[in-house]
Amino acid sequence: MDIAGINLVTLIASLMVAAVPILLAAIGELVVEKSGVLNLGVEGMMIMGAIGGFMVAVATGSPLMGFIGGAIGGAVLSLFFAVLTLGFLANQVATGLALTMFGLGLSSLMGQGYNGVKPPPTGALFGPLGDIPVIGPILLGHDWMVYFSILIVAVVWWVLRYTRTGLIIRAVGESHDAAHALGYNVARIRLLCIMFGGAMAGLGGAYVSLVRVPQWVDGITAGAGWIALAIVVFASWKPWRVLLGAYLFGGITVLQLRLQAAGSSIPVEYLSMAPYLITILVLVIMSSGRSKAALNAPAALGQNFHASR
């Protein structure tokens, strides 16, 4: 099953790995946006997770502790966003940008001295079962984070669709005034959603620095946070479509890397801009046309809530 010198099985197996960071960040951001908050600081939270996770993993020697550290790193940074937009009613777009700039700076400050350090390896979950031909590499050969990221999508889908918690989150995102009138604490619900989004972005970032790369480099997330934001639009705020979108982009990323390695006739520079160009293309397709993905956007997205009474 080789196409243009690229093995299809390894391609699928590696796109599942490549998709994990954007998948986690996007599913977190989906919950945040469902609660009516637009946090553009995903890139900043991801990179804080990347350095936080890396530092903890190197210090403890345990990848699991590293991922927990990454989630905490992202969540802590998202607290800044929550305080500013919920407490000080600051503009969400501007605050998100500030979060990204601050996160990029702080991570590079914290990461000094970690260049060239190797993090502890994260092994495959099912060990030798991954050696079974075809289904092994695709279904059984991954580390636990790959399965965990799919599980999270399922949980988010279930919670948003079938539970009371999900209904409240959606109510707050559709009409914060109505939710407030019903007696729900809009600020508290949004705070929890923002922190969940931060933790997921941090987890995604930690996956970049602990598994994908695996080392620490300044600006390691390289726009993955922004692609995650685009995937939420692509998915028209539906959890399973986030999975589809993330795998699609994971596929493009892996494919262009493979083509580069295979010595394709297309210049390297043009291949490496492909994920960004395709993101734009997908955004255009999703936001135009009759399907009107935009109509599915939470009605109160990006608006701050201030209880006048």
Partner 1 sequence: MLRLEKRPIPSRFWLYATPVVAVILTMIFGGLLFAAMGVNPFAVIKTIFWDPLFGEFAFYLRGQLLVKAGPLILIAIGLSLGFRAGIWNIGAEGQYIMGAIFGAAVGLAFYPTENRLIFPLMVIAGAFGGWVWAMIPAILKTRFNTNEILVSLMLVYVAQTILAKASTGFLKNPEGMGFPGSRNFSSFPAAANPELIAGSGLHWGGVTAVLVALAAWVLLSRHIIGFQIRLTGQAPRAARFAGVAPKRLVVLCMGLSGALAGLAGLFEVTGPAGQISIDFNVGYGFTAIIVAFLGRLNPIGIVLAGILMALTYVGGEMASTNLGLPSAAIQVFQGMLLFFLLAVDVFTNYRVRFGRVEVA
Report the nearest approach of partner 1 to the CB of residue 110 (Å).
9
301 binds partner 1 per the rule CB under 8 A: no
308 binds partner 1 per the rule CB under 8 A: yes
> Which residues, in sequence order, are CB contacts of 288 under 8 Å at separation 6+?
none
80 binds partner 1 per the rule CB under 8 A: yes
Stretch of residues binding partner 1 (CB under 8 A), selected from 9-17, 80-88, 127-135, 167-175 = 80-88
Residue from 8, 127, 270, 299 binding partner 1 (CB under 8 A):
270
Q: Residue 104 corresponds to which tokens in the numbers above? A: 């990029």
CA-based angle 168:171:172, to the nearest 5? 90
309 binds partner 1 per the rule CB under 8 A: yes
Report the nearest approach of partner 1 to the CB of residue 51 (Å).
11
257 binds partner 1 per the rule CB under 8 A: no
Strands 2-3 and 6-7, by their bridges, are antiparallel
User: Considering only CA atoms, which of 169, 167, 206 is closest in space to residue 191?
Assistant: 169
Stretch of residues binding partner 1 (CB under 8 A), selected from 63-71, 118-126, 159-167, 269-277 = 269-277
Residue from 58, 104, 124, 301 binding partner 1 (CB under 8 A):
104
Stretch of residues binding partner 1 (CB under 8 A), selected from 55-63, 88-96, 209-217, 243-251 = 88-96
C-alpha neighbours within 13 Å on the C-beta side of residue 21: 32
89 binds partner 1 per the rule CB under 8 A: yes
Q: Which residue has the tokens 């970032």?
A: 205
What is the spatial distance between Cα 227 and Cα 214, in angstroms, rounded to a whole number? 20
Report the nearest approach of partner 1 to the CB of residue 19 (Å).
18
Q: Residue 44 corresponds to which tokens in the numbers above? A: 């900043």
Q: Residue 35 corresponds to which tokens in the numbers above? A: 């609660």
What is the spatial distance between Cα 243 and Cα 41, in angstroms, rounded to a whole number? 21
Report the nearest approach of partner 1 to the CB of residue 159 (Å).
26
Residue whose CB is less far from partner 1, 129 or 261: 261
Report the nearest approach of partner 1 to the CB of residue 88 (Å).
4
What is the spatial distance between Cα 284 and Cα 130, in angstroms, rounded to a whole number? 39
CA distances (Å), origin 276, targets 218, 249, 282, 289, 293: 20, 10, 10, 21, 20
Report the nearest approach of partner 1 to the CB of residue 179 (Å).
18
User: Considering only CA atoms, which of 22, 7, 9 is closest in space to residue 250?
Assistant: 22
What stretches of 97-150 adopt beta strand conformation (E)? none
CA-based angle 126:130:131, to the nearest 5? 140
Give me the 224-243 binding string for partner 1, x by CB under 8 A, dash otherwise: --x--xx--x----------
Q: Which residues in this chain contact partner 1 in the complex, by CB under 8 A?
A: 40, 80, 83-84, 88-91, 93-95, 97-98, 101-106, 108-109, 112, 218, 222-223, 226, 229-230, 233, 267, 269-270, 272-273, 276-277, 279-280, 283-284, 287-288, 294, 306, 308-309
